[in-house]
Structure 1
């Protein structure tokens, strides 16, 4: 258990070449119309604006219904999503993956990875063998030995942050949480949930932690341990907090290694930085790292990976007789499909494929920045980042059309693996026309 391989040791469900090559739309129609009643519905033309919220209600079988059928609603919904894929620029989700049809037969089973990933359940409907393979891959990426780490596949980056900060709180019960003001909102949510004392650290213009402010606040609270959230790629500007500078600051302020805990929130960049700059490593005195699996790698549903040191996890572990396992997770019952999607993606791409994705995204981000600058649009791009920050477009409809994320007078485009230069050119062209108007 634990090796990443495309060679399966189970009998796969029968799939035909035709079904493997089907698009989401055709796959859905095949399922929705098993008797061949595949009537094409009217859909909005390509490039249509943001989809409107559907006025839906749950239908009662057997009662007269004057509205569209279940099948019609779903097919139209799928068609709308397919069109909107080409206008998804503002949020860090990789929607570029084509193995959904291969893995679709798994949906006929309820897969629940409750309990510890490294302990088998009494129920066979789980995917913990896939989960451990994924965890082993990330443990190697972040330089920690198999027998030294513990982790699990989460429901997303927020759960990873909740788990990492909880570990820090359990190890250092009277510790103060330090996080930059550009940290993900889930970090401050964790402070409220766990009723932790916290300090918000200022940031520079580019979004990186202000280390002089960190130093000042560490010295102010020198009588209490420090639990520090390090952001590897801030949510809006893509800035990276320097782990080495933070460790040096802790040392200078008199904090020994038993008086601090570092959690690395690497939701987007945790799969990028190892191929550019090896800043995330358990060879350094960090406590935990989390990433979001649906972001740079891509997955049809939110998921994430959380890795920590095995010696820390006993502080959270509880024996649960009902599931014949030990549980140290946040959510208890966990999605058994996501480890398989992550395992398949990692096996299909490999480190070489991921490295190519990173290189292409960085090049496309610089391409977008340069093009915007030539058009006289204020723009910012952090080093090692794929998040291009620009002036907020004044037209609300334009913002919605391109699904941009905005904060105050700024917007950003996140250049994910599925974003092509053609999409960027279309975006720039429309933005220039909008500004003229």
Structure 2
């Protein structure tokens, strides 16, 4: 493994290296002269730290010659510090030299991205779609500034693609074309900020109600808009505690309600019961003109209409005001994006004409990425509803497979209905958490099973988790063995390559048993 850092001191015009490297190649440095004629160059280093209180001006021209050149370097750093890859703007180098350096750096960075993408498990991102057909469009600065439905004087836009995408989502969530307004957003957070802002503009005296398991952007909106808010209790599953919701409504029944409904919570993937929330509002005396419901469907909002559960109906046939989703999560896109759909009459509360644009200001941001609508249109057109249905079915099935494998390995695991988020006990080894890019909260972690995760990948993850846990506990035993009702071993179905079972004594049994020395080896890798 490489040293965590290399420290450089400049002493009398020379560079002194402090630290130890175990990489295959030595560090090569060219010392900068007093006139700055040469620039320090280093190879096979993951990151560089300069001595002193970040007084690194004399080394501002350091160029990476072989950034991220082997698997060790590609693994995540052991801390949360970000390595700064300085801009190559040193006049001591020719344009040709800088161009060559840029090519080398970007080539190595692409290798790093490919490697880290293979271990992307904790955050929802669909990597199963090929966007090579859109690369030629990257030469254009496509800007959809202003309202998606109104032309402006800016002609390099993709409004026709954006409106097509919005019409698709309007049909999915059952609202007529002349009854909705919407736009493609930069991410799910912007969708929440927009939906809740419209709720506040329509009900200025309203109180925001959101469960404690809601996304952090919901409470960010409350702070930004100076809204009174109530954190409603959550059940252990992450779903809203409806008794707590009822109690808070009754305590504040003299003021309107702006309600955030989670269509898949961030950590546990729980889906709030929309019908039950609407019923409670009616039972506590809130008429439809005194409440506004925003549905945060970042990940699950696209999936839900393709599920067979009768509770999965997410529709504007119900008295809701807006729905927002992320585009890059379940559907997949090469850059973060999202979609919000809301009732047209509600959206009018925040619109105004702008002569400079020759359009209307109806969006949170001014300039908007015109590439995103094209990417979403491309994904929807290539995949189709049948393809999305297959992805939903695959993710739900594989989520159950992962939960079963984790439980059979002796780990506590939970999976909500209508969810592809598998929750389990937080791994003890932080290196394992970083390696698989797990999202953790308190004593739990989760894997979000996406269309690009096949069973083999899930099996690799579980086996690596078993090894990691053994290294940390010093024993091949699992911490909480699962004891079946009868005395027969728990045998997992042959989901992928390799069979795994758990005996009643709680020992892991593999087709190729691992000895304790291997399990305890600090440098063991499974990929």
Structure-1-length-normalised TM-score: 0.88
- Match of 2:341, SS state, is strand
Is 1:192 aligned with 2:226? no
Q: Distance in 1 between matches of 2:152 and 2:92?
A: 43
| Structure 1 match to 2:464 | 430
CA shift, 1:124, in A, is 1.4
CA shift, 1:313, in A, is 1.5
| Structure 1 match to 2:390 | 356
User: Aligned pair in 2 of structure 1 residues 245, 347: CA closer, same or farther (>3 Å)?
Assistant: same
| Structure 2 match to 1:402 | 436
Is 1:104 aligned with 2:135? yes
CA shift, 1:48, in A, is 5.1
Q: Distance in 2 between matches of 1:245 and 1:435?
A: 41
Q: How does 1:285-324 map to 2 (within 5 A)?
A: 285-324=319-358
Q: Distance in 1 between matches of 2:67 and 2:184?
A: 39
| Structure 2 match to 1:31 | none
| Structure 2 match to 1:63 | 92
Is 1:386 aligned with 2:420? yes
CA shift, 1:41, in A, is 8.4
8 Å CA contact 1:377–1:391 kept in 2: the answer is yes
Q: Distance in 2 between matches of 1:388 and 1:179?
A: 23
Q: 2:182 aligns with which of 137, 151, 163?
A: 151
| Structure 2 match to 1:76 | 108
- Match of 1:272, SS state, is helix
Q: Which has the larger radius of gyration?
A: 2
| Structure 2 match to 1:10 | none
Structure with bigger helix share is 1
- Match of 1:223, SS state, is coil
Deviations 1:276-329 (A, max 9, x none): 144210000000000000000011111000000011121100100001000111
Q: Distance in 1 between matches of 2:93 and 2:355?
A: 49
Q: Distance in 2 between matches of 1:415 and 1:372?
A: 14
| Structure 2 match to 1:329 | 363
State the number of aligned residues. Answer: 398
Q: Distance in 2 between matches of 1:55 and 1:228?
A: 42
Deviations 1:188-210 (A, max 9, x none): 00000000000000000000000
User: Aligned pair in 2 of structure 1 residues 98, 211: CA closer, same or farther (>3 Å)?
Assistant: same
8 Å CA contact 1:290–1:305 kept in 2: the answer is yes
Q: Distance in 2 between matches of 1:280 and 1:197?
A: 27
Deviations 1:2-28 (A, max 9, x none): xxxxxxxxxxxxxxxxxxxxxxxxxxx
Is 1:218 aligned with 2:249? yes
| Structure 1 match to 2:301 | 270
| Structure 2 match to 1:339 | 373
- Match of 2:445, SS state, is strand
Q: Distance in 1 between matches of 2:340 and 2:302?
A: 13
8 Å CA contact 2:68–2:109 kept in 1: the answer is no
CA shift, 1:61, in A, is 5.7
Q: Distance in 2 between matches of 1:48 and 1:323?
A: 46
| Structure 2 match to 1:117 | 148
Q: 2:70 aligns with which of 44, 56, 62?
A: 44
| Structure 1 match to 2:288 | 257
Q: Distance in 1 between matches of 2:77 and 2:104?
A: 16
Deviations 1:226-282 (A, max 9, x none): 000000000000000010000000000000000000000000001100001442100
User: Aligned pair in 2 of structure 1 residues 54, 350: CA closer, same or farther (>3 Å)?
Assistant: same
| Structure 2 match to 1:36 | none
CA shift, 1:49, in A, is 2.2
Q: Distance in 2 between matches of 1:111 and 1:42?
A: 33
Name stretches of at least 5 consecutive residues in structure 2 with no aligned partner. 1-64, 472-527
User: Aligned pair in 2 of structure 1 residues 83, 350: CA closer, same or farther (>3 Å)?
Assistant: same
CA shift, 1:43, in A, is 2.5
CA shift, 1:62, in A, is 4.1
Is 1:165 aligned with 2:196? yes
Runs of 4+ in 1 over 2 A off after TM superposition: 39-43, 45-49, 51-55, 64-68
User: Aligned pair in 2 of structure 1 residues 195, 64: CA closer, same or farther (>3 Å)?
Assistant: same
Is 1:95 aligned with 2:95? no
CA shift, 1:47, in A, is 10
Deviations 1:123-161 (A, max 9, x none): 210000000000000000000000110000000110000
User: Aligned pair in 2 of structure 1 residues 259, 79: CA closer, same or farther (>3 Å)?
Assistant: same
- Match of 2:280, SS state, is helix
Name stretches of at least 5 consecutive residues in structure 1 with no aligned partner. 1-38
Deviations 1:351-394 (A, max 9, x none): 10000000000111000000111111000000010000011010
User: Aligned pair in 2 of structure 1 residues 71, 194: CA closer, same or farther (>3 Å)?
Assistant: same
- Match of 1:87, SS state, is coil
8 Å CA contact 1:47–1:83 kept in 2: the answer is no
Q: Distance in 1 between matches of 2:271 and 2:68?
A: 46
